[in-house]
Amino acid sequence: MKPNLKILYKTPDLDEMAKKHQDFDGLMDSLATTKAGKRNRLQRFGSFVLVIAVTAFLSWLYWGYEPAGAELPVETRELSASAKSEEQSLAADTVVEKTEKPVTEVKPEPVSPANQQADQPLPDTKTEQASNTSQKSETDSNDLALPEVKESKYEFVSAEPAQGLENLYEYLYGRIHLPDSLLDQQSSLFFEVSFTVSAVGSVNNVGFSKDFPVKIDSALTQVFEQMPTWQAARENEQPVSSEVKLPITFQKKN
Amino acid sequence: MNLSEKEYRYLGAREEKEVERAKRDSKDFRPLYERYYGKIFGFLYKRVADEDLAADLASQTFLNALLNLKKYEFRGLSFSAWLYRIAFNLSTDYFRQSKKERVFYMEPERSSELLTEVIEESEEAEVLLMRELKLPSAFEALSAKELSLVELRYFEELPYTEIAYVMNMSEGNARTKMHRILKKMKMLIESNETQSENTL
């Protein structure tokens, strides 16, 4: 599909324009707003689900739930049974059949394990002591375990040129000149230069690979030692010295 | 400035660490934002020629990048390729919805570089100049996709690997298409010349 095209020739100063609109804090604000919007939608959905669930639970309680007699203590059950008989006697003049029905007998139920535990006699002092010591040892082990949970986090950020890698290469290619004869046979040559970036960002211990094509002298070493500043590597946010291996490629012009 | 493949990978590996940091804390996205805002803004401005609209689209590009940063996977390409892809899709959507005029900035130094690819090197200076004047008509004859390919290659100077990623095609396909576009442009310029000669 052919676009509706308008060709322009003179580009305005885009860098200046971009600087005017560059606003990282604004971006963070819009990110927070977008995330909050998403969260709100989730919250609204969550609260809707909660309301439905609570309504369903309450209606189940109201319409469908009947407390089981077995769960009530015996005295309460007896009381409720007598209340029921009273209720039935009150309604005797209206419903005759009801009075004929016998009041259900409350039989003592077999003791449940929970009740059994409650009915058990108190443990003697020896067993109490033993349980105390076991509890104590448990709490001791808890006391010992808690402070050990701390995780040690290791983070390493490697050294990097303060003004960016592209600027660094621009600086280096502007100062290192390779004899044209070396590039006659190959279109490009690749070498490595190693050096140490100290904790304060200074460069030293410059080393060249054995096959480095340019004559290695103090001037060449100076090119590297005086290169744009580096940001030192950081180990757990503390600046440390580190060795850097920088790849350099010479390419044939055209 | 064009980086060699090794330097490019070295830069990519460093960026991967920066992206990992930004995934943990969005405040660490700042270096990537500051490094690429200008490029993305420029790319969008050259497509829409409207400062405020380009700024809006650029902000949307970075916001989308931040919102989807956890999905980003390092594939040996510069992080900018991902940003270009988001910006490219956003601007394409904008043109589709608004049906506004697509703008193409023909920067003189870049278009002369393109011209050397389109015509033979042995041509005389006068012929070169004549043909440069006919470039706009050749651009007008290209489709939206073809124009975007030329734009990314000669005006944004992206490598073919990134162009392929931005336009969602294979690298081989991108190269073949570019070859065909240059051939097409050459034919268009030459046919334009013969037409003008006949009229004279």
In this complex, do A27 and B10 lie within 8 Å of one another by their Cβ atoms? no
Q: Residue range A59-87: average pLDDT?
A: 58
pLDDT computed for residue B197 by the predictor: 60
Q: In this structure, are residues A172 and A220 in contact, taking their beta carbons and an 8 Å threshold? A: no
CB distance A14 to B42 below 8 Å: yes
pLDDT over 80 at B130, yes or no: no
The predicted complex's ipTM stands at 0.74
pLDDT (0 to 100) of residue B2: 57
Instruction: Quote the pLDDT of residue A146.
Output: 53
Query: A5-14, A87-96, A153-162, B4-13: lowest mean pLDDT where?
Result: A87-96
pLDDT average, residue stretch B68-86: 88
Please judge whether B37 and A11 are an interchain contact, meaning their C-beta atoms are less than 8 angstroms apart.
no
Read off the pLDDT band of A117 (50, 70, 90).
very low
Chain A positions touching chain B (beta carbons under 8 Å): 1-9, 11, 14-15, 17-19, 21-22, 24, 26-28, 30-31, 34, 157-158, 160, 164-166, 169-170, 188, 190, 247, 249, 251
Name the residue among A1, A26, A170 with its Cβ closest to that of B144. A1
Instruction: Give the total residue count for chain A.
Output: 254
pLDDT at A152 over 50: yes
How close, in Å, is residue A210 to chain B by CA atoms?
Answer: 19
Per DSSP, what are the bridge partners of residue A230?
A: A161
CB atoms within 10 A of CB B189: 20
Highest mean pLDDT among A49-58, A165-174, B2-11 belongs to A49-58
Average pLDDT (A90-101) is 42
- Which of A11, A244, A248 would you mutate first to test chain B, the one with the most B CBs within 10 A? A11
> Is the pLDDT assigned to residue A45 strictly greater than 70?
yes
pLDDT at A10 over 80: no
Predicted confidence band of residue A93 (pLDDT cuts 50, 70, 90): very low
Check residues B174 and A120 and name the one with the higher pLDDT: B174
Residues of B in contact with A15 (CB under 8 A): 38, 42
HSE (CB half, 13 Å, CA atoms) of B102?
24
Please give the pLDDT value at position A130: 47
| Rounded CA separation B198/B200 (Å) | 5
* CA-based nearest residue to A214, from A169, A183, A170: A183
Q: Report how many Cβ contacts below 8 Å link chain A to chain B.
A: 124
- B41 and A7 within 8 Å at the Cβ level: the answer is no
What pLDDT digit, counting tens, does each position of A179-221 carry? 777 767 667 777 788 888 988 888 888 888 777 777 777 788 8
Residue A51 pLDDT grade (very low, low, confident, very high; cuts 50, 70, 90): very high
Residue A54 confidence (pLDDT): 92
Residue B30, chain A, CB below 8 Å: the answer is yes
* Interface probe with B: pick from A24, A158, A251, most Cβ of B within 10 Å: A24
- Would you state the pLDDT for residue A100? 42
Characterize the bridge pairing of strands A238-240 and A230-231.
unpaired
pLDDT band for B52, please (50, 70, 90 cuts).
Answer: very high
pLDDT score for A33: 87
Lowest-confidence segment of A218-222, B26-30, B41-45 by average pLDDT: A218-222
- What is the structure's pLDDT at B16? 84
Is B101's CB within 8 Å of A31's CB?
A: no
What mean pLDDT, rounded, does chain B reach?
83
Question: Within 13 Å, how many C-alpha atoms sit on residue A43's CB side?
Answer: 6
Contact B11, B78 (CB under 8 A): yes
User: Does the pLDDT at position A242 exceed 70?
Assistant: yes
Instruction: Check if the beta carbon of residue A63 is closer than 8 Å to that of residue A56.
Output: no
Question: Is B41 in contact with A21 (Cβ distance < 8 A)?
Answer: yes
Query: What pLDDT score does B4 carry?
Result: 66
